[in-house]
Homo-oligomer: A and B are copies of this chain.
Amino acid sequence: MREVAAGLRLLQRSTDAFDEAAAARLGLNRTDLRCLDLILAEESLSAGALTAAAKLSPAATTTAIDRLERAGYVTRTRDAANRRRVLVTATEQARTAEREVYGPLAEAGAQALRRYTKDQLALITGFLATACRVQEEQSARISELPEA
């Protein structure tokens, strides 16, 4: 009960620390890393799509792409089908870095989960979904609160 709340806080902290370490490793700031992850998740992404996915302003997205490009993690190409669009594509260097950073994490995670039965895993995913739902509901409640 109280332990669950504490565990969630610690989990958040460790996630944050991991992201920080990953960004430092790649020589990026957190925003750029988030953008790079989004780009890696798709084959390639238009600048506008990245703006939407990262919830940044168009201007901030442009400079984030600039930094990623300068660091060698992405390339810009104009979309042949619609030359207004700029396609952002991850480089091989980015994929290598991704494997180096996330590969062992995925491996260690899988290893740790092997200790659980199928039913236990189902319980855990159920819990995660519930926690998510509760937090979303509460975010919505706060947003709709009348001005103080």
Q: Which residues of A contact B (CB under 8 A)?
A: 1, 3-5, 7-8, 10-12, 14-15, 17-18, 20-22, 24-25, 97, 100-101, 104-106, 108-110, 112-113, 116, 120-121, 123-125, 127-132, 134-143, 145, 148
- Interface SS of chain A: helix, strand, loop or mixed? helix
| CB < 8 Å neighbour of A128 from B11, B106, B130, B148 | B11
Q: How far is the CA of A108 from the CA of B135 in the complex (A)?
A: 9
| CB < 8 Å neighbour of A124 from B25, B123, B134, B142 | B123
Contact B106 A134 (CB under 8 A): no
Can you name 19 extra interface pairs (CB under 8 A) apart from A25-B142, A116-B127?
A4-B121, A5-B109, A7-B125, A7-B132, A8-B11, A8-B15, A12-B15, A14-B131, A14-B135, A14-B139, A18-B135, A20-B139, A21-B140, A21-B143, A101-B142, A108-B137, A109-B134, A112-B130, A127-B127
